[in-house]
Chains A and B, each alone.
Chain A
Amino acid sequence: MQPEKFYYDNKIVRNFALATIIWGIIGMLVGLLIAMQLYKPAMNLGNQYTSFGRIRPLHTNAVIFAFVGNAIFMGVYYSIQRLLKARMFSDLLSKIHFWGWQLIIVSAVITLPLGITTSHEYAELEWPIDILITLVWVVFGFNLFGTILKRRERHLYVAIWFYIATFVTVAVLHIVNSVELPIGLWKSYYVYAGVQDALVQWWYGHNAVAFFLTTPYLGMMYYFLPKMAGRPIYSYRLSILHFWALIFIYIWAGPHHLLYTPLPGWAQSLGVVFSVMLIAPSWGGMINGLLTLRGAWDKVREDVILKFMVVGLTCYGMATFEGPMLALKQVNAIAHYSDWIIAHVHVGALGWNGFLTFAILYWLIPRIYNTSLYSKKLASTHFWLGTLGIIFYVVPMYWSGFTQSLMLKEFTPEGLLKYPNFLETTLRIIPMYIMRSIGGTLYLLGVILMAYNLFKTMLAGKLVPNEAAQAFALEPLANQGNLENQEKWHKVLERKPIRFLILSLVAILIGTFIELMPTLTISSNIPTISSVKPYTPLELHGRDIYIREGCVGCHSQAIRPFRSETERYGEYSKAGEFVYDHPFLWGSKRTGPDLQREGGKYGNSWHYNHLLDPRSMSPGSIMPSYSWLIKQELDTSHTELKINAMRTLGVPYALGYEKIANQDLQKQEQIISQDLAANHIRVKPNQEVIALIAYLQRLGTDIKNYKKTGK
């Protein structure tokens, strides 16, 4: 039998590699800018399009979906062709995938600074872009499975298992967490509310980490590490156990993001238990990677690519040990809402995703350009800059997290809060924020060096767009004697790729159903409170401005049942308080104080002055100024649509109320503007700031009324 000659498509790999480098630099630059904004508010640049709340999601989206996303496709397109001995199924689908993905990223770059956001973390993009993501993902899936079906290698290596699980799980996560009711081209409301919305979001959010930042990278590790080290993976059996255990367990862990919130206790406990169990498969994978280098540690000393891999794997090990620890309630009580989580995330992002990406880029670019790396010395400098950058980034963030959390929890011997003013704790950690941006700068400098090194490499070589290869076509199984019987289990598992996809789907759906369905369908899980009423039309508009400005990026609206929190913020949060919140706005980080009981704490004039110039009310505050809210008029043309949409989602506005909603809105505007006028602040009633003040003054007041009247 003659082997078949065919060609690997290297051009698509090169395109994704270029996109990885360019978006990586942009995403990290935005990260550096927001890091500086946290100690120098002037870095918000005085306009709404570059304020922290709006561009923090730009940073997260750019590094997750643009930098890591493109790197995943680069690694997948390179490795899958070679593992399957086949060119990608369709060059056209590859191109549509590439340009479609870049279009999604450009849409994010435009819409997020404009304040177009759903507010769900890592899922901020509005519904038209969600649909585009779905279409592009389907194109990727077709190309992936088309290649698998026309393969010349019967067996699917474990890396491909990880790619299949990534494809199917990201599809499920994206669809379930994007069920929104549009009220215009660039605005929608999630169909889920409050506790349910929080559960869906963090089931998504945690598994975006699992199935976007982890499983595809593990697949890449299982392919590229043996190539780089020139030896097979330490234990293939362990890799199979790693795969099944990881995808089965990961999907359950989401609720550890919602500990001590009104999420039902049983769901929190499930999240904790499965998070702790996650150590086993995660460390199994890390050990499998590191032990692949057994007997080759002398190579690590010489080879900068292996150095990147070793530090990357070590960071994976650290982050996946820390994750389960953070899921323990006692640890979470201190870490949640603090910079500790920022440190944890960046050990994973900078160390695991970043370093693996750099290693693969350094390994792959010279090969597809048929040359050698321009400068090993520069690559080595990059390695040390990157490693130092990670240390300078995460150590101050750990320090800052511990310091602020402990300060916020400290009481005097008389039983009063030692630091009743939140700002006092913020001012204490400003030096850490400065240090963090130095770490980020070092890391970014390393990436710029890498870009220079790789572009010089590209210039020195010439892209081999179609790399020749040979392999035998697949023989019919009938010719292979009794091999079939011997490999029964293997056949059941991975010889049929579509069946494999379904098995992976079942593995992730078990946890999904057990965890999500009771909270979504059994009403006793969310006890209602009679005094909690829907927002007034003006408050609803104010809430949308709160979402637009990304206030949720720094202010939580979920008070945990600790004395240190109830003393500071008021009554702890109850599930029934959020039943009309589409979306929920609990937040995940307290750069500023919690706002759930903000209503009535200060006068309208305080809020006006504070939004206009936060430092006039709170000297030293790091909050950006929101001066544009005082200049921009509130757009009330969508009030009717908003009320109708909310009613469709179950908010009990009376039928026909949408017709008179704007009248109520204007009345409430008048009341607030008159109150401001009484305090010598002249502002037109139809300015956006009035709506935001109305919303802030409403926060938490339903419960206060309940306590007063007992109803």
Chain B
Amino acid sequence: MFKQFTENIDGKQVYLISSMGIFILFFLMVGFILIRLRKAHVQYMSELPLKDSLEN
């Protein structure tokens, strides 16, 4: 099944490998930010849609 990815790229593996690298880096960055988020902040944010106005 994975042959199609390795055979059809005519020596242009650099595009695939660099793309995967960029994605992993990006994913780790977002993961790091998520871990650093404070619980109180997350709770505040998730309740925002439920507060339209001070009266609500």
Contacts and interface: CB of A to CB of B under 8 A. Distances in A.
Interface string B15-29: 110111011001100
A328 to B, nearest CB: 8
B26 A236 contact: no
A272 B7 CA distance: 14
A518 interface: yes
A181 interface: no
A67 interface: no
Interface in B10-54: 10, 12-13, 15-16, 18-20, 22-23, 26-27, 30-31, 33-34, 36-38, 41-50, 52-54
Contact of B48 (A83, A224, A249): A83
A661 interface: no
A226 B22 contact: no
Interface in A43-83: 79, 82-83
A157 B52 CA distance: 13
Contacts of B19: 252, 270, 273-274, 511, 514
A493 interface: yes
A233 B43 CA distance: 10
B8 A266 contact: yes
Nearest to B6: A269
Contacts of A155: 44-45, 48
A266 B8 CA distance: 6
Interface stretch (A240-248, A453-461, A573-581, A672-680): A240-248
Contacts of B5: 269, 272-273
Contacts of A469: 52-55
A235 B43 CA distance: 9
Nearest to B37: A237
B49 A83 contact: yes
Nearest to B12: A266
Interface string A307-330: 000000000000000000000111
A241 B34 contact: yes
B25 to A, nearest CB: 10
B23 to A, nearest CB: 7
B16 A270 contact: yes
B10 A265 contact: yes
Contact of A471 (B27, B38, B53): B53
A620 interface: no
A603 interface: no
A227 B48 contact: no
Given A227-B50, A277-B23, A514-B18, A486 B38 contact: yes
From B5, B27, B46, residue with most partner A Cβ within 10 Å: B46
A518 B15 contact: yes
Contacts of A277: 23
Nearest to A268: B8
Interface residues of A, number: 58
A223 B50 CA distance: 9
Nearest to B45: A236
B30 A266 contact: no
Contacts of A82: 49, 52-53
A3 interface: yes
Contact of B49 (A3, A223, A248, A267): A223
Contacts of A487: 38, 41
A490 B37 contact: yes
B34 A240 contact: yes
A574 to B, nearest CB: 15
A159 interface: yes
Contacts, number: 122
A245 B31 CA distance: 10
A269 B45 contact: no
Interface string A65-104: 0000000000000010011010000000000000000000
A493 B41 CA distance: 14
A232 B23 contact: no
A277 B33 CA distance: 21
Given A249-B23, A264-B10, A510-B22, A329 B4 contact: yes
Contact of B9 (A224, A232, A266, A511): A266
A676 B50 CA distance: 73
Contacts of A471: 53-54
B44 A245 contact: no
Contacts of B54: 3, 469-472
Contacts of A329: 4
A192 interface: no
A489 B36 contact: yes
A531 B43 CA distance: 66
Contacts of A265: 7-10, 12
B52 to A, nearest CB: 4
A222 interface: yes
A266 B34 CA distance: 33
A232 B12 contact: no
A620 B18 CA distance: 52
Nearest to B56: A469
Contacts of B23: 248-249, 274, 277
A85 B49 contact: no
B8 A245 contact: no
Contacts of B33: 240, 489, 493
8 contacts: A83-B48, A83-B49, A227-B49, A232-B47, A269-B8, A269-B16, A330-B1, A489-B33
Given A82-B52, A265-B10, 20 more contacts: A82-B49, A157-B48, A158-B45, A222-B49, A233-B46, A233-B49, A236-B46, A237-B34, A241-B31, A241-B34, A245-B27, A265-B8, A267-B15, A269-B9, A274-B23, A469-B55, A470-B54, A487-B41, A489-B33, A518-B12
Interface of A: 3, 79, 82-83, 85, 153, 155, 157-159, 222-224, 226-227, 230-233, 235-237, 240-241, 244-245, 248-249, 252, 264-270, 272-274, 277, 328-330, 468-472, 486-487, 489-490, 493, 507, 510-511, 514, 518
Interface of B: 1, 4-5, 7-10, 12-13, 15-16, 18-20, 22-23, 26-27, 30-31, 33-34, 36-38, 41-50, 52-55
